[in-house]
């Protein structure tokens, strides 16, 4: 089974910009992997922020955006807010199956 890798932890200053990445052991992540990004607050179920690389839900704050960057999926947060401190997981599609990354703990400090 493929392994999906994320930065274990990142720190961003309030109002700052940070990019989280999501790589695949099978090679470059492409739009055909339909990458997802989830946010999980402590004790809560995850919620989808980004799907199919860059599509947003109605509840996704405008400061979050998704893209492909250097062979990886990327989640960029521009103008970080204290409430953005959370765990972020990417999910990659492999011929029907899905694999989660290890998650990134984002600290806003």
Partner 1 sequence: QVQLVQSGAEVKKPGASVKLSCKASGYTFTKYFLHWVRQAPGQRLEWLGWIHVGNDNTQYSQNFQGRVTITRDTSASTAYMELSSLSSEDTAVYYCATKTGGSDFDIWGKGTVVTVSS
Contact footprint for partner 1 (CB under 8 A):
1, 36, 38, 40, 45-48, 51-52, 55, 57, 89, 91, 96-103
| Start-to-end Cα distance in the chain | 36
The encoded tokens of residue 12 equal 């961003």
Q: At closest approach, how far in Å is the CB of 62 from partner 1?
A: 16
Of 40, 51, 35, 25, the C-alpha closest to 105 is 40
Q: At closest approach, how far in Å is the CB of 14 from partner 1?
A: 26
Element (H, E) at 70: none
The smaller minimum CB distance to partner 1, of residues 57 and 63, is found at: 57
The smaller minimum CB distance to partner 1, of residues 55 and 83, is found at: 55
Q: At closest approach, how far in Å is the CB of 36 from partner 1?
A: 7
Q: What is the DSSP letter of 27?
A: B
């Amino acid at each position: 089974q493929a392994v999906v890798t994320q930065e274990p932890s990142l720190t961003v200053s309030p109002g700052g910009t940070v990019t989280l990445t999501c790589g695949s052991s099978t090679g470059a992540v492409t739009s055909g992997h339909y990458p997802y990004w989830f946010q999980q607050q402590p004790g809560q179920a995850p919620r989808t922020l980004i799907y199919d690389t860059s599509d947003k839900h109605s509840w996704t704050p405008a400061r979050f955006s998704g893209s492909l960057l250097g062979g990886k999926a990327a989640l960029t947060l521009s103008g970080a807010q204290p409430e953005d401190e959370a765990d972020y997981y990417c999910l990659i599609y492999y011929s029907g199956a899905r694999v989660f990354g290890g998650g990134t703990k984002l600290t806003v400090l």
